Amino acid sequence: MRWFQPLRLGPVTAEARTWIPAMVPWRATTEGFVTPEVVAWYERFARGEPAVLVVEATGIRDVPSGPLLRAGHDRYIEGLARLVEAVRRASGGRSRLFIQLIDFLAIKRRPTKEAFFTRFLQVDGPLRARAADVLGEPSLVALDEPAFRARLLGLEEPHLERVLSPRELESYRMGHRERVTDVHLPHVRYLPQVLPGLFARAARRCVEAGFDGVELHCAHAYTLASFLSARNTRTDGYGTSREGRLRLPLEVYAAVRAEVGQRVALGCRYLSGEVIEGGSTAEDAAHFGVAFARAGMDFLSLSRGGKFEDARQPKVGAAAYPYTGPSGHACMPAAHLPPPGPWGRNLPFAAPIRQAVRDAGLETPVIACGGIGSPWQAEEALQRGDADAVGAARQALADPDWFMKVRLGRGEEVRRCLFTNYCEGLDQAHKAVTCQLWDRGVFPDDAEVARTPDGRRLVAPPWGTGPTSR
Ligand SMILES: Cc1cc2nc3c(=O)[nH]c(=O)nc-3n(C[C@H](O)[C@H](O)[C@H](O)COP(=O)(O)O)c2cc1C
Ligand code: SF4
């Protein structure tokens, strides 16, 4: 199979075209350190010998961000090196280990109505003027602030929809979310000055820890993706036009390359489409792919959607999750979707991007994924020229040995993903990610395997009994 033929990724050669894209398992310490559970998670994937295994989105800053891995300080190098070592050992050196580097802006939980109107909402002239106008009460313009807030707190939704600005209404209903266009905030305005150095230093630490590749996270709902977005209206040269939107991701790439040179494969993950109203188009994605390839990236890993703009309203006290709306369903396609269902759903969007890169005379490998649950889908995509490598996140979670089972001709033993997104629900709740299938059946290590406090296995079962595709 072409899927098991080697692939050059800049200075690195992958033994095959199998790939596990980044997945956050929620197993780091709250300070962002590698734990034994993080090591066990990647070690288990490595035993199935994927050609490339990408470590979860890892923060480039040294700021609290919950149990997500971080590379924002030299003190993280030691733990990351342990992880590299464990993967090397478990795969017999056959898996190349990459790490995804991420920056994200602040997002607040959805507040109670009372908290929003008594504390969070900023009272200014335009708000007072709108309230006075909508409610027909001119005195609201000069009313003392506590009384004004109390008046708004007592309003019903139809009035609030007219009194609050669209942004205020969103903060009230979804929780406040910073955007890259909030240039009135100095830390947002100066992102172009700050991010190249932060990414470069984090990448240098990952190289010191021994990773084979670094993937810049330019996908989904995070900072670099928001710069690429068609909704980026910054007018400081870092938005609006395609070239403006590309500028910061390219400057980040250049800074990282200058720091790490050719010691590792360096590429990015970005979107074949944002799948939101007014979002980037297929033409944008092809243009970006050519620009990244021309700049010298060693691979382009494609994802799709996963945006905050169309996310479902969270419950009070919870934060919006970018995989809940239509764009989220494109990102992690589930079994309930209309034909073709989740299976191979995002492959057709990779083909024109790869073609545009080839038409520009560049050979940069393109990696596609999304709903891959059988080797034939992967193989056909490679034969058709949709992509150069085909990845699987959830199928690899359901059965980390599946690449090896297929390679050895034992495909009937694969434990097949159901694409019902139980794992995604756990991610959404910031709980340790596990697979519903791991707890079905009887496995030789059942007695000693580590479990969550509510009894779920933390590691996939060994190649053994249990439900398979048979
Ligand atoms: C639990 C979970 C966590 C994820 N975390 C990340 C992440 O850290 N970075 C990323 O780019 N994608 C992340 N993804 C998206 C996957 O990499 C992948 O693009 C998506 O699941 C679709 O591929 P699949 O159909 O093979 O699962 C995550 C997916 C899941 C299910
Ligand atoms: S929990 Fe469901 S969707 Fe997630 S990997 Fe397991 S079977 Fe697939």
pLDDT at 467: 62
Q: Are strands 7-9 and 12-14 parallel, antiparallel or unpaired?
A: antiparallel
The best mutation among 18, 20, 24, 329 to test binding of ligand 1, ranked by most ligand atoms within 8 Å of the C-beta, falls on 24
Q: Which residue has a Cα nearest atom 6 of ligand 2?
A: 435
Distance of CA 468 from the midpoint of ligand 2 (Å)? 13
Q: Which residue has a Cα nearest atom 23 of ligand 1?
A: 370
Atom of ligand 2 nearest to the CA of 438: 6
Ligand 2 pocket (Cβ < 6 Å) reads: 394, 397-398, 417-423, 435-437
Looking at this protein, which amino acid is placed at residue 275? V
How confident is the prediction along the chain (470 residues), in pLDDT tens digits per residue?
Answer: 999 999 999 999 999 999 999 999 999 999 999 999 999 999 999 999 999 999 999 999 999 888 999 999 999 999 999 999 999 999 999 999 999 999 999 999 999 999 999 999 999 999 999 999 999 999 999 999 999 999 999 999 999 999 999 999 999 999 999 999 999 999 999 999 999 999 999 999 999 999 999 999 999 999 999 999 999 999 999 999 999 999 999 999 999 999 999 999 999 999 999 999 999 999 999 999 999 999 999 999 999 999 999 999 999 999 999 999 999 999 999 998 888 889 999 999 999 999 999 999 999 999 999 999 999 999 999 999 999 999 999 999 999 999 999 999 999 999 999 999 999 999 999 999 999 999 888 888 999 999 999 999 999 999 976 666 54
- Asked if 437 contacts 467 with a C-beta cutoff of 8 angstroms, the reply is yes
Neighbours of 162 (CB within 10 A): 13
pLDDT at 470: 45
On whether the pTM is more than 0.75, the answer is yes
- Asked if 331 contacts 308 with a C-beta cutoff of 8 angstroms, the reply is no
Nearest ligand atom owner, CA of 346: 1
Distance of CA 310 from the midpoint of ligand 2 (Å)? 23
- Asked if 174 contacts 227 with a C-beta cutoff of 8 angstroms, the reply is no
Nearest ligand atom owner, CA of 400: 2
pLDDT at 338: 85
pLDDT at 468: 64
Distance of CA 187 from the midpoint of ligand 2 (Å)? 38
Distance of CA 435 from the midpoint of ligand 2 (Å)? 5
Distance of CA 394 from the midpoint of ligand 1 (Å)? 7
Domains of the chain: 2-108+185-439 (3.20.20.70), 113-174 (no CATH)
